[in-house]
């Protein structure tokens, strides 16, 4: 809200408070965004060490990020893990949300609490428990164990977003489809899924971001051949401060911004669809 948008009857004290609030919000935003603003230009530094201001600009570290087999393998593992975990968590989370949408489901609150508990339980606790459990099954040092735990971590986001979308869904549409001879699966695929698709996709994006950026579970369950991009960055910070880490951070920032813009687009599309239906 600008100064011109303030009501005419606003007192001088209220105007001062208005501008103080704007300055405070701007200061907080700058405090949060400052580390990102520093990291992004450093990724284009030609020197093999961290220095600021930058004297020579180069894409040297991006070439190392995508040309070095170690970093390429880490990126590939992250993509495989994130895509598989997202597919699993989105499928199970959507089905769970549909089940929780039934009014007469006994223990609905308890089931919902269990499904969203991975958001509350510390990740290190979940990782330790998964390590001891998966060790007995022989999947503690491969991507399968990591994918399963990442799917558990991403499922709460899918359940929450899809459940919120289903809150405004008219179940009369499903009953009408069933009365016309459609099977439950066909009614779900042709009626419910297209209408709740923005919520499903939003949850999937959150699940993908959670898996792609996760490092604690990978440290516990990943072996030498299961190094993901966050783990490679963490190892690089411990062993050597290579500017390639900054190039990887730049890629992650761009990915995060792209996801945020996509989520905002989906939110506005969902609002527009609700307005059309109403």
Q: Of the spans 93-102, 130-139, 150-159, 182-191, which averages the highest pLDDT?
A: 150-159
Report whether pLDDT(275) > 70: no
State which CATH number among 1.10.3720.10, 1.20.950.20, 3.30.565.10, 1.10.10.60 fits the domain covering 69-277.
Answer: 1.10.3720.10
Nearest to 231 by CA among 127, 132, 103, 109: 127
Least confident span in 4-8, 28-32, 41-45:
4-8
Distance of CA 141 to the CA centre of its chain: 24
Report the half-sphere exposure of 220 (CA within 13 A, side-chain side).
Answer: 21
pTM > 0.85: no
Mean pLDDT (whole number) for 239-268: 81
The structure tokens listed for 4 are: 């011109």
- The predicted structure's pLDDT at residue 159: 92
Of the pLDDT bands very low, low, confident and very high (cuts 50, 70, 90), residue 101 is confident
Distance between CA 134 and CA 139 in Å, rounded? 5
Half-sphere exposure of 209 (CA within 13 A, CB side): 20
């Amino acid at each position: 809200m600008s100064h011109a948008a303030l009501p005419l009857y606003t007192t001088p004290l209220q105007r001062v408070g208005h501008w103080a609030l704007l300055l405070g919000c701007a200061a907080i935003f700058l405090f949060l965004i400052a580390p990102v603003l520093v990291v992004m230009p450093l990724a284009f530094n030609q020197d093999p060490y961290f220095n600021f201001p930058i004297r020579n600009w180069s894409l040297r570290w991006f070439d190392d990020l995508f040309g070095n087999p170690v970093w390429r393998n880490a990126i590939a593992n992250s993509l495989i893990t994130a895509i598989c975990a997202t597919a699993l968590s989105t499928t199970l989370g959507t089905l769970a949300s549909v089940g929780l949408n039934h009014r007469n489901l006994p223990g609905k609150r308890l089931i919902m609490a269990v499904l969203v508990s991975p958001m509350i339980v510390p990740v290190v606790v979940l990782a330790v428990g998964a390590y001891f459990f998966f060790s007995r099954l022989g999947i503690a040092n491969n991507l399968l164990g990591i994918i399963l735990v990442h799917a558990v971590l991403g499922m709460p986001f899918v359940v929450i977003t899809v459940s919120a979308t289903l809150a405004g869904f008219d179940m009369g549409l499903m009953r009408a489809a069933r009365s016309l001879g459609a099977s439950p699966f066909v009614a779900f695929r042709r009626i419910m899924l297209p209408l709740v698709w923005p919520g499903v996709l939003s949850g999937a994006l959150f699940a993908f971001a959670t898996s792609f950026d996760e490092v604690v579970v990978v440290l516990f369950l990943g072996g030498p051949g299961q190094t993901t991009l966050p783990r490679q960055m963490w190892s690089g910070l411990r062993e050597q401060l290579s500017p390639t880490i900054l190039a990887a951070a730049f890629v992650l920032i761009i990915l995060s911004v792209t996801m945020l813009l996509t989520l905002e687009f989906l939110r506005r599309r969902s609002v527009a669809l609700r307005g059309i239906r109403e």
